[in-house]
Amino acid sequence: MTTATDIEVVDLAVTPLRELNQRLHDAKNGGPKSWKIVNPNGAHALAVGIDADLDVLIEGHTGYYTAGMNKHANVTIDGNAGVGVGENIMSGTIRITGNASQACAATGRGGLVVVEGDAAARCGISMKGVEIVVKGDIGHMSAFMAQSGTLVVCGDAGDALGDSIYETHIYVRGSVKGLGADCIEKELKDFHRAELGRLLEVAGADAKVDEFKRYGSARTLYNFNIDNAGAY
């Protein structure tokens, strides 16, 4: 019998993915709280749809959609993560010690995603409330149509940052290659300093609030205007 303090180790070289995910789902009804997954070997859809307060450590690189739609769990990927890591995350925390591929935390609605390395294109695309902290750089078209939530970038941002952005707050410490349609630099007010400071702290990022610039929506595309046709 396992108790709540034991660490449940699952070897994906032996255990089928389906069985692992099923067990993680069943953990909602009790059983081990701490999990260690070894030999992920780039598996797709790993640890998706968890709905319980678990600690999950994945030792190695993962494929697409790791920890997708996560609720409550704290998932750490000790390696690089493929496309759409933490897509549509609802709550809990996902930490990637390496780099994240495209569409990191896409459409995320809550919780926190921390990337220790770099994140590729479309980081935070269509985000809806998630908080994302990337300690390295992010790729082009990040925060495209980002609706709400916060994106913190300690390194540089690629082209077309925040294109067609709605109400998401973006903070970038380094350079921004280019801003997308309707995204502008905005004043860093006390509220934003507090928000940024809190996120740098929870993410364990070694950076100072005053080194960042804030970007957000100019709100000129919110209602259709024919004179903006070129921007749509």
Partner 1 sequence: MTDFDPTGNNGTNWHPGLKESYIFDRNTIHEIRRAASQGIYDIRGFGAKRKLPHFDDLLFLGASMSRYPLEGYREKCSTDVVLGTRFAKKPIHLKIPITIAGMSFGALSGPAKEALGRGATMAGTSTTTGDGGMTEEERGHSEILVYQLLPSRYGMNPDDLRRADAIEVVVGQGAKPGGGGMLLGQKISDRVAEMRNLPKGIDQRSACRHPDWTGPDDLEIKIQELREITDWEKPIYIKIGASRPYYDTQLAVKSGADVIVLDGMQGGTAATQDVFIEHVGLPTLACIRQAVTALQEMGMHREVQLIVSGGIRNGADAAKALALGADAVSVGVAAMIALGDNDPAYADEYAKIGSAAGFYDDWHEGKDPTGISTQDPELAARFDPEQGGRRLNNYLKTMTLEVQTLARAAGKSNIHNLEPEDLVALTIESAAMAQVPLAGTDWIPGSTPGGF
Binding site for partner 1 (CB under 8 A): 17-18, 21-22, 25, 44-45, 48-49, 51, 63-65, 68-69, 71, 83-84, 87-88, 90, 102-103, 106-107, 109, 122, 125-126, 128-129, 144-145, 147-148, 164, 166-167, 222-224, 226, 232
Greatest CA separation found in the chain? Answer: 68
Spatial distance between the Cα atoms of 192 and 211, rounded to a whole number of angstroms: 13
- For partner 1, the closer CB: 212 or 215: 215
- For partner 1, the closer CB: 88 or 99: 88
Spatial distance between the Cα atoms of 88 and 78, rounded to a whole number of angstroms: 21
CB of 179 to partner 1, least distance (A): 19
CB of 178 to partner 1, least distance (A): 20
CB of 213 to partner 1, least distance (A): 23
According to the 3-state scheme, what is the secondary structure of 24-49?
HHHHHHCCCCEEEEECCCCCCCCCCC
- For partner 1, the closer CB: 143 or 154: 143
Q: What separation in angstroms does the CA of 105 have from each of 22, 96, 231?
A: 23, 11, 26
CB of 69 to partner 1, least distance (A): 4
Spatial distance between the Cα atoms of 122 and 125, rounded to a whole number of angstroms: 5
CA-closest candidate to residue 90, choices 120, 45, 49, 123: 49
Spatial distance between the Cα atoms of 210 and 153, rounded to a whole number of angstroms: 13
- For partner 1, the closer CB: 32 or 82: 82
- For partner 1, the closer CB: 2 or 225: 225
